[in-house]
Amino acid sequence: MTLDEKVRKTLAELNVADAQGVEVLFAEVRAAMEAERQDLIACGAASEAERDQLCKALRDRWLARKNGLLSLLDENWLKAAAKELKPAVGRRFNELRKIATGLGFDELVRAVPVRHQASFSAGAVLVTSSPLEKQASFAADAVLAGPPDLTLPGYRRPLGSIHPVTRVMREIEDIFLNLGFAIETGPEVETVYYNFDALNIPESHPARDDWDTLYVDAQTVLRTHTSPVQIRAMEKHGAPLYIIIPGKCYRHDNPDSTHSPMFHQIEGLAIDTDITFADLKGTLDFFAKKFFGEKVRTSFHPSFFPFTEPSGEVAISCVFCDGQGCRICKESGWIEVMGCGMVHPEVLRHGGLDPDRYSGWAFGLGVERYAMMKYDINDIQLFYQSDVRFLEQF
Ligand SMILES: [Zn+2]
């Protein structure tokens, strides 16, 4: 039986026949009254209008002249009490009326907090459903809501960075752009003619073997070097020609710490009248000092490439041991960094240039190798694994 039902019955109907029973009954009423008041104070109101409405409802529930709980209690418990119980009931009833002054409208309004939704100073705003609509606990009802706090710091979007291979490629490009070279590019899917024939690589050359070249079909390959662009640029621009050719190349290599089926090259080509090997040496020595540091020395050794004659390998004094000999330079003090040579007359002819009038030099280097030397990276595969822990260091 609820309190509301109890106050509509007489003490006799509630089987309360002695002072002790009266005590217990009034204790229950006081507890209910205090609990309802505390609930309202704890929950508060979302606005002053709501607060006033809630306070009036609670006041009326207890103190209304007609059908208020105290009026019903007066009628059914006190007035209808048996003669011998009246003093006890009267005493408890008077106590209750005194306590009930806390349920007056003004008293409640003073006690119940209004939680303004528009309050910025409070940060997050606690909004609860009305305590009279819902009897669930304050904590369980609490939800975070309200307008955004404009004083909070914003979200920081992490910035990406330039890939080390791209970074080194741009660095090399910049050195040659400052020397007056232009950048030239060409297709990665290339014809056999541009990739081999025009570059004086005969069908018998081992580089045309399946193991080195990825064929798309009998006449089409994924270019094995950036050199085909030499021919394309000669055809397009004629001479004089000062270009560098950065780009991707493909070879039938198994991936390991120094090989990758895809890698980057930069090719250099200078064609003019009266170009000599001295121009080649001077330019590449300048480049090596710009890229690796002024202390670096260069050394040229004879070599062979089908598209240059004479051909050479360029070595720099080891940047790790200063030429003293270490594990990286295999105790030699020198590191090979590129291939080079004077453009073969046959290649000039394929490019539509007269080898009796024009001469030129060319070089080719692997960008990954330069990036590995510059950043002391020992595994070429790290460049292609897209591991952010590796890439975010650059
Ligand atoms: Zn060394």
Burial class (CB in 10 A: 0-12, 13-18, 19+), 228: buried
Domain that holds residue 260: 164-391
Distance 249 CA to ligand 1 centre (A): 28
Residue 152 lies in a domain: no
Distance 317 CA to ligand 1 centre (A): 8
CATH of the domain at 178: 3.30.930.10
Cα separation, 34 vs 245, whole angstroms: 87
Distance 301 CA to ligand 1 centre (A): 18
- Report the DSSP pairing between strands 241-250 and 262-272: antiparallel
Distance 49 CA to ligand 1 centre (A): 84
β-bridge partners, 247: 265
Say if CB 348 and CB 308 are below 8 A apart. no
Quick one: which of 180, 184, 165, 166 has its CA closest to 245? 184
Distance 163 CA to ligand 1 centre (A): 26
Co-location of 275 and 352 in the same domain = yes
Final residue belonging to a domain, choices 113, 145, 177: 145
Distance 380 CA to ligand 1 centre (A): 19
Residue 153 lies in a domain: no
Residue 150 lies in a domain: no
Co-location of 128 and 180 in the same domain = no
Distance 227 CA to ligand 1 centre (A): 30
Residues constituting the chain: 394
Residue 363 lies in a domain: yes
Burial class (CB in 10 A: 0-12, 13-18, 19+), 190: buried
Distance 250 CA to ligand 1 centre (A): 29
Residue 362 lies in a domain: yes
Co-location of 245 and 212 in the same domain = yes
Final residue belonging to a domain, choices 117, 145, 173: 145
Distance 35 CA to ligand 1 centre (A): 85
Residue 78 lies in a domain: yes
Co-location of 214 and 131 in the same domain = no
Distance 296 CA to ligand 1 centre (A): 12
User: What is the full per-residue pLDDT of the chain (394 aa) written as tens digits?
Assistant: 888 888 899 888 888 888 888 888 888 888 888 888 888 888 888 888 888 888 898 899 899 888 898 898 888 988 888 888 888 888 888 888 888 888 888 888 888 888 765 444 444 444 444 545 444 444 444 445 567 788 888 888 878 889 999 999 999 999 999 999 999 999 999 999 999 999 999 888 877 776 689 999 989 999 999 999 999 999 999 989 999 999 999 999 899 988 999 999 999 999 999 999 999 999 999 999 999 999 999 999 999 999 999 999 999 999 888 889 888 888 999 999 999 999 999 999 999 999 999 999 999 999 999 999 999 898 999 999 989 889 888 8
Q: Is the pTM of this model over 0.75?
A: no
Distance 292 CA to ligand 1 centre (A): 14
Final residue belonging to a domain, choices 145, 176, 194: 145
